[in-house]
């Protein structure tokens, strides 16, 4: 029993030493963080296509099999969600094409750098500056816009001709820093595949998607090899994720607005799987026509959009929203299908869900969970960087289980539990000895107790 107590005491001292080591590491500052997005990477691509490099990455880290992203399931809204932790109605990038009734301005993806569209929120590459960190953003949506009068320390505007290797080279150089400038603590890197291929051929085109995903997987292999070549591997945390999935479309699944309503009755703001329009005449009459327009399209007045979509409370959300069923496409007229693959649909659909994988010293190894909300990635990244988060819609509760330091709970809690066990065992020993003293003693002759003849030195409990 005495030996058991000594072992427990040694164990407690070991845990205390580990906690001290963690404290020392924390004093050195957080590890750099790299966020990489492969646009349009549908979650089930991981099961449908061989991805050896990606699987190697998450086998050494963690995998979230699918993310529940935000509505609408478009590139700009969801990429801004990843770096703000906000629903689209909160950060203000509500669609690919927008109209702001307050300013009277129109927004189109890739054609507008006006900060007013982005200033409702602060992305992580801006807020991390407040903690004294340098940041970088490589072609991430919104990263070339002056937000809150600031940009990332380093950034490049979107240019489709710049290869993934070139983008990655810039990122690693910025993370390494040089003799004159400290390396960045947070970097975000965007790549437009497999979204581009998904739009052109559709996610059910196995040949085209296998080729595109082979290239994506090669890029992930390049990412790992470059981090190893530059000495960053094992010294940075890496998150690989996406913004949305992709659904197969068809000319047999077209919804023509002209079949229900003359174009003189409305102003079109955004036309896609989710269509936004402004009635020019009686809104109730226009809505009544659209409501019964097509069995595979649901019309909503703004005030009646389901709460679960978090898509009501912003002036840029138009008076009437039309949501097509999965795989259906809304057009104004004609029989031309704009894209063989599309997204934007209800974010409860598995086909719209992306994934997330992460690796690095802060993450557990070989661990996976089935799902996570994409708004939770922002508080997770703030936690990793020790950056005070801006107000957001996410939570660290579920994402915390991905972290190595959290795998057995917080160290103070763990120490408290072990100390509790120690006290219980000590009490048992005390009671045991007390019971022995209460036993009737048999008379026996006096004899001298043997004394060990040692050198007086005690063995250390641990080295």
E runs forming strands in 186-253: 186-191, 237-241, 247-248
Is 164:221 a contact under the CB 8 Å cutoff?
no
Reduce the DSSP state of residue 143 to 3 states and report it.
coil
CA distance 319 to 244: 25
| Partners of 64 in beta bridges | 356, 369
User: Which of these, 178, 128, 176, 120, lies nearest to 153 by C-alpha position?
Assistant: 128
Bridging pattern class, strands 247-248 and 341-342: antiparallel
On the 0-12 / 13-18 / 19+ scale of CB atoms within 10 A, 68 is middle
**Measured distance CA(126)–CA(136) in Å, rounded:** 10
In the chain, count of helices (H) and strands (E)?
12, 18
200, 244 Cβ separation under 8 angstroms: no
Close Cβ partners of 133 (under 8 Å, ≥ 6 residues apart): 184, 185, 186, 385, 387
Q: Report yes or no: 255 and 298 within 8 Å, Cβ to Cβ.
A: no
The answer to whether the Cα torsion of 429, 431, 437, 440 is positive or negative is negative
75 is catalytic: yes
Whether 147 contacts 122, CB under 8 Å: yes
Angle between helices 206-229 and 52-59 (to 10 degrees): 50
Among 73, 75, 135, 329, the active-site one is 75
Instruction: Count other Cβ atoms within 10 Å, centred on residue 27.
Output: 7
Q: Which of 303, 304, 277 is nearest to 290 (CA)?
A: 277
Catalytic amino acids? 75
């Amino acid at each position: 029993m005495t030996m058991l107590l000594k072992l427990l005491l040694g164990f407690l001292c070991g845990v205390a030493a580990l906690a001290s080591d963690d404290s020392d590491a924390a004093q050195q500052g957080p590890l750099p963080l790299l966020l990489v997005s492969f646009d349009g990477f549908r979650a089930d691509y991981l099961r449908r296509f061989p991805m050896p490099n990606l699987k190697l990455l998450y086998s050494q880290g963690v995998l979230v099999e699918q993310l529940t992203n935000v509505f609408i399931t478009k590139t700009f809204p969801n990429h801004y969600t990843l770096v703000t932790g906000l629903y689209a109605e909160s950060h203000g990038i509500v669609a690919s094409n927008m109209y702001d009734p307050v300013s009277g301005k129109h927004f189109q993806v890739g054609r507008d750098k006006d900060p007013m569209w982005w200033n409702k929120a602060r992305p992580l590459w801006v807020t991390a500056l407040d903690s004294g960190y340098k940041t970088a953003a490589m072609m991430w949506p919104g990263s070339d816009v002056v937000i809150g009068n600031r940009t990332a320390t380093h950034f490049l505007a979107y240019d489709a001709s710049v290869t993934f290797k070139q983008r990655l080279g810039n990122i690693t150089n910025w993370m390494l820093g040089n003799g004159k400038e400290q390396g960045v603590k947070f970097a975000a890197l965007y790549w437009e595949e497999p979204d581009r291929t998904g739009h052109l051929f559709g996610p059910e085109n196995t040949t085209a998607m296998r080729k595109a995903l082979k290239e994506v997987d090669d890029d992930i292999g390049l990412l790992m090899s470059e981090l190893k070549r530059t000495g960053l591997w094992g010294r940075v945390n890496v998150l690989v994720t996406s913004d949305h999935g992709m659904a197969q479309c068809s000319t047999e699944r077209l919804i023509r607005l002209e079949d229900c309503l003359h174009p003189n009755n409305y102003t079109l703001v955004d036309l896609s799987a989710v269509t936004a329009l402004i009635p020019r005449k009686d809104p109730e009459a226009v809505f009544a026509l659209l409501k019964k327009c097509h069995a595979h399209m649901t019309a909503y007045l703004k005030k009646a959009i389901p709460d679960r979509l978090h898509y009501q409370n912003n002036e840029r959300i138009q008076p009437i929203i039309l949501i097509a069923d999965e795989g259906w496409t809304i057009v104004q007229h004609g029989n031309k299908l704009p894209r063989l693959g599309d997204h934007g649909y209800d974010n409860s659909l598995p086909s719209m869900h992306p994934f997330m994988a992460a690796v690095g010293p802060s993450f557990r190894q070989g661990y996976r969970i089935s799902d996570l909300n994409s708004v939770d990635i922002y508080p997770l990244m703030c936690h990793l960087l020790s950056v005070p988060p801006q107000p957001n819609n996410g939570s660290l509760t579920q994402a915390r289980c991905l972290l190595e330091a959290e795998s057995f709970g917080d160290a103070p809690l763990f120490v408290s539990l072990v100390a509790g066990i120690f006290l219980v065992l000590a009490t048992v020993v005390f009671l045991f000895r007390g019971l022995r003293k209460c036993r009737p003693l048999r008379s026996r002759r006096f004899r001298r107790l043997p004394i060990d003849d040692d050198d007086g030195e005690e063995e250390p409990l641990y080295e």
